[in-house]
Amino acid sequence: RSIFVVRLEIYNLQNFKELNDFYIRLKTVKGVKNAWLTDYRGGNAYFDVSCSSGGAGNLARGLMETFGTELKINRPSLMKLEAAAQKKQ
């Protein structure tokens, strides 16, 4: 079996509660085996996410299914995703 590690950058997480809530939901995304927070500063969080298959494409699909319009997702490369948390009005 092959495991893919995708670098995930999340912007606009304003405090540790939002970071923790995101992390808990991230681990429930289909295809995510594990996730490690590598850095958090200034509202930006950086994760390494272990996925069962498909790299960033499958992770992006899973994030869209789990978070819906709460995230705006950009895929700059095969193994990297950027996402911005959308503020509720």
Residue with tokens 């509660």: 17
Q: Note the pTM of the prediction, 2 decimals.
A: 0.87
Torsion angle of the four alpha carbons 74, 76, 80, 81, in this order, in degrees rounded to the nearest 10: -10
What is the tens place of the pLDDT at every residue in 49-73?
A: 998 877 888 899 999 999 988 999 9
Name every residue whose Cβ is closer than 8 Å to that of residue 74 and which is 6 or more positions away in sequence: 81, 82, 83
How much is the pLDDT for 88? 64
What is the tens place of the pLDDT at every residue in 39-51?
A: 999 899 999 999 8
- pLDDT of residue 33 exceeding 60, the answer is yes
How much is the pLDDT for 2? 59
Torsion angle of the four alpha carbons 17, 27, 43, 10, in this order, in degrees rounded to the nearest 10: -150
**What percent of the chain clears pLDDT 70, i.e. is strictly above it?**
96
